[in-house]
Copies of this chain bind each other. A is one copy, B any other.
Amino acid sequence: MHEPATKPIMPKLPGPARLLHGGDYNPDQWLDSPDVLAQDIELMKKAGVNCVSLGIFAWAKLEPEESRYDLDWMAAIIDNLYDNGIYTILATPSGAKPNWLAHRYTEVCRVNRDGQRELPGERHNHCFTSPVYREKTRAINTVLAKRFADHPGVILWHLSNEYNGECYCSQCVDAFRLWLREKYGTMEKLNHQWWSAFWSHTITDWNQIYPPVPYGEKNVHALTLDWKRFVTHQTVDFMRQEIDALRAVCPDMPVTTNLMGFYPGLNYFKFKDDLDIVSWDNYPQWHTGDDVETAMVTAMAHDLMRSIKGEPFLLMESTPSMTNWQPFSKLKRPGMHMLSSMQAIAHGSNSVQYFQWRKSRGSSEKFHGAVVDHCGHGNTRVFRDVAELGSRMADLGFVADTAVRPDVAILYDWENRWAIDNARGPRNSGMHYVETVTDHYRPLWEMGINADIVDMECDLSRYKLVIAPMLYMYRAGIEQKLKDFVSGGGTLVGTYWSGVVNENDLCFLGGFPGGGMDEVFGIWAEEIDSLPDGQTNALVLESDRSVRYPVSELCELIHTRGAQVYATYERDFYAGMPVVTQNSYGNGEAWYLAAKADPAFLREFYRKLALARGITMAIDADLPHGVVASLRKGTSDLVFLQNYNNQDAIIMLPTTMKNMETGEAERTPVLGPYELMILEL
């Protein structure tokens, strides 16, 4: 997976245009305004747009009444775009149901968690199980494929839009029961794994099972977990049906769908085998908090999206100015549009696409940022920012020959997240799993160390360092993978609240971490103490007891079984007990952090570890706060130097490096506010 993409994924795309720039285009809203459509083309060319996403919400225009299709308008648009050098990513329109469809076939509308069938309207709310909806999407997808698959301008399928949500209709409930039968085989096995003897919940008939709802079962965590898995399964299954309809007509056209980063509702790793390309929609909220922190969180999301397939991805949506759904629609400050767009590329994207090309005139997204505003011309700050980026990207074709190849993997697992968040105890006011993963990502990002964000089903063998925070659940044979990884010479970092349950949330017996991982870490965990917000303890280094760092939230009381104690608790009745340990196992080593550590500790910890284990940094230099570097390797090794400060930053490079855009040699470059520079390593 880490090999550079040697053959193009989108075969129709010529080399020089491999970085895509453009966005969602909804001419279906303006078909009665030919002047607007003509102006669109002119403005796109001015803005350096070479690719649009078309037809995402156009079903009502494509099939204005049942089985009567009208694709001519779309053909004219695609032709015109292509004639002007603009490619089309063509959507399947399942994201929004036409009113006639929802009205005639109510089964396509979801039943919500309260048991209520939803009325027609909104979007992203069709039942994934409904045979009618599957048939109707198959039909329209087939029609679209037959008409447009061979068009030279159509380069990629954009499946639906931001698949999400759940349906609780009886067809979904039946499908869930069937999925459980296939998973468990027998009721006996299900009863054991769900530990249903508890509270007399023994299942004696598959039909006794219902999804977790507010007016039913909420406390059988294995049930809730299986329901979430089923939702992912059913969503992928629906997507696969969409793909099948397309493949039947045009087997070679690649497919993507636009994901949503750390969206909690779906395990995106389950999408990897069905998608040719991962793409995603990225909406950080700049300038309303700490921009450096926002940049870090955004970087991690890019890395997650890239890691799903381990290949370059596409930034499918972003806003050229602001959103209209966040608490404050703050404008992007000058420079930030360029920087935040290039950040995606630095982390492995081969595109910058927007939602949306032109602001719609009415309805709920009319105030969402767009390249073209309601004023209808290009004489705006936003348009100029976009055009500037388009112009720059046009010269960055060489970037598409490179890819991100980290030495480090952080384990982030959606099913683990579901299990931790759904559990009762040990800290109902906040376990903060994702935040903890982020805490471990932050120092790497600060040091210019690229990291993959992978789940338990991924291969770990290519990494030097694997970080596995709060690996509460062990599944997919992760224990064996980790043992192999460490014994093979790898370095593993684990934390408190690891190895507690199996894949069905059933506790390991005999002590935590279970599954034999106590041997890898050389410790066992007896109890876990939960501190209220604001309360802290501290860890004290064994090597220098004057050095202490705060710990908070969760403090595990562990005992060594062979591990060396690196730090101990400072206070409370467990003062002196180990809190950080190091254990040799095979040819590698495993660290255990028994309490939630402060960012300052993690920064020091990973700095030493990176040095000791020879982890690649983009630049071997101390960068000023808010300045970071990210690396793409390939025909050249490219360092993307990014300044997230709203002021100048002077960078002391370890050596003279070539500025890939100016060709000049840089040694102590000055980056202006929100400026980005591409250097050759």
Q: Hey, which bits of chain A sit against chain B, CB under 8 A?
A: 26, 28-29, 31, 57-61, 64-65, 93, 96-100, 103, 112, 114-123, 193-205, 207-208, 210, 213, 215-222, 288, 321-331, 333-334, 359-368, 373-376, 380-382, 423-429, 504-512, 524, 526-532, 557, 572-573
B119 touches A201 (CB 8 A): no
Question: Which of the residues B117, B221, B427, B511 comes within 8 Å of A329, measured between beta carbons?
Answer: B427
Q: Check B60–A361 contact: CB distance below 8 A.
A: no
B residues in contact with A112, CB < 8 Å:
215
A365 to B199, CA, bound (A): 10
Q: Can you spell out 11 A-B residue pairs with CB atoms less than 8 angstroms apart?
A: A99-B208, A117-B215, A120-B208, A322-B426, A322-B530, A328-B429, A329-B528, A361-B509, A362-B505, A373-B527, A374-B507
Contact yes or no, A527 B216, CB < 8 A: no
CB distance from A560 to the nearest CB of B (A): 15
A381 touches B526 (CB 8 A): yes
Helix, strand, loop or mixed for chain A's interface?
A: loop
- List the B side residues contacting A222 at CB < 8 Å: 362-363
Given A99-B203, A532-B327, check contact A198 B360 (CB 8 Å).
yes
Expressed in whole angstroms, the Cα–Cα distance for A366 and B423 within the complex equals 9
CB of B362 within 8 A of CB of A506, answer yes
Q: Which of A328, A376, A528 has the most CB of B within 10 A?
A: A328
Q: Smallest CB–CB gap between A209 and chain B, Å?
A: 9
Q: How far is the CA of A64 from the CA of B197 in the complex (A)?
A: 11
The answer, among B96, B427, B508, for a CB contact under 8 Å with A199, is: B96
State whether A119 and B200 are in contact (beta carbons under 8 Å apart), knowing that A328-B429, A362-B194, A526-B380 are contacts in the complex. no
Interface centre among A57, A199, A217, A375 (most CB of B within 10 A): A199
Complex interface: chain B residues within 8 A of A96 (CB): 199-201
**Bound Cα distance from A215 to B113, whole angstroms:** 11
Instruction: Give the residue of B367, B376, B524 whose beta carbon is less than 8 angstroms from that of A509.
Output: B376
Q: Which residues of B contact A116 (CB under 8 A)?
A: 114-115, 215
Query: Which of A96, A103, A207, A380 gathers most chain B CB within 10 Å?
Result: A103
Q: Which one of B97, B198, B365 contacts A363 once the chains associate, using CB atoms below 8 Å?
A: B198
Q: In whole angstroms, what is the CA distance A115 to B116 when docked?
A: 9
Q: From A198, which residue of chain B is reached at the shortest CB distance?
A: B363
When chains A and B are docked, how far (Å) is the Cα of A218 from the Cα of B119? Answer: 11
- A57-B198, A374-B512 are contacts. A529–B330 as well, Cβ < 8 Å? yes
Name, among A221, A364, A505, the residue most crowded by chain B CB atoms within 10 Å (CB to CB): A364
The answer to whether B428 touches A331, judged by C-beta atoms less than 8 angstroms apart, is no
Given A99-B208, A219-B363, 8 more A-B residue pairs with CB atoms under 8 Å apart are A26-B198, A96-B201, A98-B202, A100-B205, A119-B215, A195-B360, A196-B363, A324-B424
Question: What's the minimum C-beta distance from A625 to chain B, rounded to whole angstroms?
Answer: 22
Q: Is the CB of A423 within 8 A of B527?
A: no
Given that A119-B213, A328-B530, A331-B529 are contacting pairs, would A29 and B197 also be in contact in the complex, using a CB cutoff of 8 Å? yes
B216 touches A363 (CB 8 A): no
Cβ distance A206 to chain B, nearest Cβ, rounded Å: 11
Q: Is the CB of B429 within 8 A of A60?
A: no
Residue of B nearest to A116 (CB): B215
Cβ contact of A288, chosen from B93, B328, B532, cutoff 8 A: B532
A29 with B195: CB separation less than 8 A: yes
Assembly CA distance A123 to B217 (angstroms) = 9
Q: Which residue of B lies closest to A119 (CB)?
A: B216
Which residue from B199, B321, B374, B427 sits with its C-beta under 8 Å from A511?
A: B374
Residues in chain B near residue A425, CB distance under 8 A: 322-325, 329, 367-368
Q: Are the C-beta atoms of A375 and B200 separated by less than 8 Å?
A: no
Q: Please give the distance in Å from A188's CB to the nearest CB on chain B.
A: 10
Q: How far is the CA of A376 from the CA of B507 in the complex (A)?
A: 12
Q: Given the complex, which residues of B lie within 8 Å of A573, measured CB to CB?
A: 333-334
Q: With the chains together, A204 CA to B323 CA distance in Å?
A: 31
Can you name the residue of chain B whose Cβ is closest to the Cβ of A103? B208
Nearest B-chain residue to A374, judged by Cβ: B507
Most chain B beta-carbon contacts within 10 A, residue among A61, A200, A204: A200
Q: Is A201 a contact partner of B324 (Cβ separation < 8 A)?
A: no
B61 x A120 contact (CB < 8 A): no
Instruction: Contact check, A329 vs B530: say whether CB atoms are below 8 A apart.
Output: yes
Q: Which residues of chain B are near A427, meaning CB under 8 Å?
A: 327-329
**Residue pair A64, B215 in contact (C-beta under 8 Å):** no
Which of B199, B288, B363 contacts A194 (CB under 8 A)? B363
User: Which B residue sits closest to A161, measured CB to CB?
Assistant: B199
Q: How far is the CB of A674 from chain B (nearest CB, A)?
A: 11
How many angstroms between the C-alpha atoms of A97 and B200 in the bound complex? 7
Out of B121, B321, B382, name the residue touching A216 (CB < 8 Å). Answer: B121
10 shortest interchain CB distances as A-B pairs? A195-B362, A324-B425, A121-B217, A119-B216, A367-B425, A219-B364, A60-B200, A327-B429, A198-B363, A60-B202
Q: Could you say which residues of chain B place their CB within 8 Å of the CB of A326?
A: 428
Most chain B CB atoms below 10 A, which of A64, A97, A196, A375: A375
CA distance A200 to B429 in the complex (A): 41
Expressed in whole angstroms, the Cα–Cα distance for A323 and B97 within the complex equals 47
Looking at the assembled complex, report how far the CB atom of A440 sits from the nearest CB atom of chain B, in whole angstroms: 23
How far is B203's CA from A60's CA once the two chains are assembled, in angstroms? Answer: 9
Contact B195 A93 (CB under 8 A): no
Contact B532 A195 (CB under 8 A): no
> Residue on B with the closest CB to A673?
B573
CB distance from A334 to the nearest CB of B (A): 5
Once bound together, how far apart are the Cα atoms of A233 and B384, in whole Å? 47
Tell me the complex Cα distance, A433–B328, Å.
16
- CA of A116 to CA of B116, assembled, Å: 11
Does the CB pair A359–B507 fall under 8 Å? yes
Across the two chains, which residue of chain B brings its CB closest to A112?
B215
Q: Can you name the residue of chain B whose Cβ is closest to the Cβ of A28?
A: B197
What is the bound-complex CA distance between A527 and B213, given in angstroms?
44
Whether the pair A375, B511 counts as a contact (CB closer than 8 A) is yes
Q: Which residues of B contact A429 (CB under 8 A)?
A: 327-328
